[in-house]
Structure 1
Amino acid sequence: MIDEFSFILFLGCVSIYIILFIIRSRNRGSSERSTLNLIYRNWVQNRMTDENLLYATQALRNFIMGNATFISGLLILVGILVGLYNTQILSSEPFWGFQEINIGFLQMASNLALVFFSLFNFILSIRYIVRVSLLLTGDIKKYSEGEYNGIDIAKKAFISAQNHWFFGNRGLFFIFATLSWLIDSLFFILVILIITVYLVVFQDIWVASKKHD
């Protein structure tokens, strides 16, 4: 029964974080997140006047390498998790009496779902940051079509890269929680509570509180 409770608690904590994130994202007040987005836009704008893009290229390269490191680690983790399937490490007890679904399957599904979520976001982050690097090396100030212009496209691409990196990074936190489920159910409960409180209250404080202009 403890496994069932811990899984429901996990879904509840993830849902609470997502709901708070959506609520905070729809608020128009100032926040750390909105300030960062302004900085990101200004960073792209300033690169338009740089004659030497060496430092900008190096910064983008470091960002890509960081994402690539996460992707490599997650792919290795996928291989390890697949190798653990149908082993004695995973529990074979039925989930709330349903013989078709056992605890081990939920443990594996939860881990893989979060791993693929983070992989998806890190890959998209690289995609957008590569687009930014290509746009910066061209004279994008001269190109526009209707309501679209090169500078705005570069700014949106850079912010999208940062947002996908953020989502992938937050997925890693919850992966730590689901991996702890493979060790012990009570440990899983403790870890998911600590991670949720840390992300909402201490790390992503802009999610839980609104600062008015």
Structure 2
Amino acid sequence: MDQKEIENLRQDYTAAALSEKDVDANPVRQFDKWFNEAINNKVLEPNAMTLATATADGRPSARIVLLKGFSDDGFKFYTNYLSRKGRELSKNPNAALLFFWCDMERQIRIEGVIEKLDKKYSEKYFHSRPKASQIGAIVSPQSQEIESREILDARMKELEQQYADSEVPKPAHWGGYILKPRLIEFWQGGSGRLHDRIVYKKTDNKNWKIVRLAP
């Protein structure tokens, strides 16, 4: 595809509108409403979200992870603590999440500070996963260079035999995080690029202020 063809790629958004009077006073309840609508509209993996982290000196990186729970306390996910994102979060806990539900012409941006979940929550979730996923968490030295795929496959088979009739122990390097939000933005695509952007900002007294942003 040449440059001109790329420049001409565009989509006009006309599915819906979003106004201040439409949204809940609490952004987590508003997220719950939109999340359920995404499920009901059969959005593919509605819990898939981009997680953006940065090094201590501000070099960013991003990847897709899966939302595994949310409440007024924050948004939860699980991963390898020794992965690139885990190492970055240990030095710089500021992070952002992004949901993009293309079919519904919606985005949700969430900014905040990330903390590790208590070990008991990580243990409980780890043992609820398929056994292959549990073993995979042990097998993969996530984000590290490896010589070949065959190394992973061989180690996987070895551990499948080892734990065929026993419980897989949660590795110490694997567990959960929670992002505690200080800003949540709901974006609804609009015609002519006049999108609706409604933002919740956490105030000093922990209440939420609702504002509109220009698209």
Normalising to structure 2: TM-score of the pair?
0.29
Structure with more of its chain in strand, by fraction: 2
